[in-house]
Structure 1
């Protein structure tokens, strides 16, 4: 199904997922569900259904090749792009009381769990957050959320098939981070990109960088991993002037990401 992208470098997939949530995709067909949600009525869904509406089964469509040039040369990726809010492959949502205090996002929030329909990932997010759907799904699996209280504070997970067994095969964290910064610096309207940190935490790579552009100064924090030959990238974006007040919430969300082996299912 994904043979058309078999020559794309894996770093394309990671940078694109980390920064723009736009992507290189191919046409592929998945079974559609009988129930659908529109952008207009999604906001009226009960809380336990909101996250589930993020995982429709829709055709993948190629949208943007320019975001596709960042991990290491010679490593191929196969796969798709980012977000549709039609269909209903429901996720599990479970309330969890937050441990952190004074997050800035309306004090100490209550967190809920968002788990993928395939079971490959799950993470916590403040229950006051809402969906931020786009019109086209461009990854194999994807979800994106945004804060109601802090403009520009958002988070998303993207899952794409790859050919490698581990993210370490794409290069070191600093090498991958340097390529991300180099590509971002070439984007229209971007005046400055600075890599604030990169590290390996177990099987995960983490990245922390700032982008200054005509759209303002934003900070990006991400965790990436390859499991079952799938690249899973969890990215949080926030305006620089809101980062300090929301640092506890960001840390809680990033560290909550769990990835499960599904044996290729």
Structure 2
């Protein structure tokens, strides 16, 4: 179903990402999270695949928010805001934007520590350059693994934020399947011209 929806919405690149995400989700996570479904916001011009069992929630400042009903601390949200900059390249490089993101986290009163796990960039099907970051956040509210996908395209800032709350000491092996699912969801995020 997700692959069919992607083929109608985003072309070959979206189909490939949908197939990869669906296959990986089926092989690495529980049955309740195995089915991914297409979410498209035509007005804000973005799309992604989310677990079919997750609930859509309203949250101030978020354009879309999806929450795992079995683990409420696990969520994926998208914000979209107009900006004066036309593209992410004009805002900064992968490293520069990553430094700004982590510095913003460090400045939060609740933050005890933050460390970058990985960063990468990819090209969306519509031509947008997307920066992807994964980091571990230790805060007064617990330890989380955070995934962010950031782009500026056609003077709109898009941020996908995915969060998985880890066990008390670290995001170890028991967290792997949950974090992997968020990676798969983030990999399907794309914006349209």
| Aligned residue in 1 for 2:50 | 125
**What is the number of residues matched between the two proteins?**
163
Query: Which digits, 9 at most, give the CA deviation of each residue in 1:120-156, with x for residues without a partner?
Result: 101100110002223x4x36xx100100122311001
Contact 1:167 1:225 in 2 (8 A): yes
Q: Which among 88, 108, 112 is matched to residue 187 of structure 1?
A: 108
Query: Which digits, 9 at most, give the CA deviation of each residue in 1:220-260, with x for residues without a partner?
Result: 11111111111111111101346302244222211111211
| Aligned residue in 1 for 2:65 | 144
| Aligned residue in 2 for 1:174 | 95
| Aligned residue in 2 for 1:99 | 23
TM-score by length of 1: 0.56
Tell me, in whole angstroms, the C-alpha distance in 2 between the residues paired with 1:187 and 1:119: 28
Tell me, in whole angstroms, the C-alpha distance in 1 between the residues paired with 2:80 and 2:72: 25
Q: What 5-or-longer segments of structure 1 have no aligned partner?
A: 1-91
User: What is the CA RMSD across the aligned residues, in angstroms?
Assistant: 2.2
The SS at the match of 1:237 is strand
Query: Between Structure 1 and Structure 2, which shows a larger proportion of strand residues?
Result: 2
Contact 2:33 2:52 in 1 (8 A): no
Tell me, in whole angstroms, the C-alpha distance in 1 between the residues paired with 2:192 and 2:83: 16
Q: Which among 173, 178, 185 is matched to residue 253 of structure 1?
A: 185
Larger Rg: 1
TM-score by length of 2: 0.75
Q: Which among 79, 82, 85 is matched to residue 158 of structure 1?
A: 79
Task: For residue 119 of structure 1, report the CA deviation from its aligned partner.
Answer: 5.6
Residues 248 and 194 (structure 1), Cα distance of their counterparts in 2 relative to 1, 3 Å cut: closer
| Aligned residue in 1 for 2:151 | 225
Q: What 5-or-longer segments of structure 2 have no aligned partner?
A: 1-8, 10-17, 124-128, 168-173
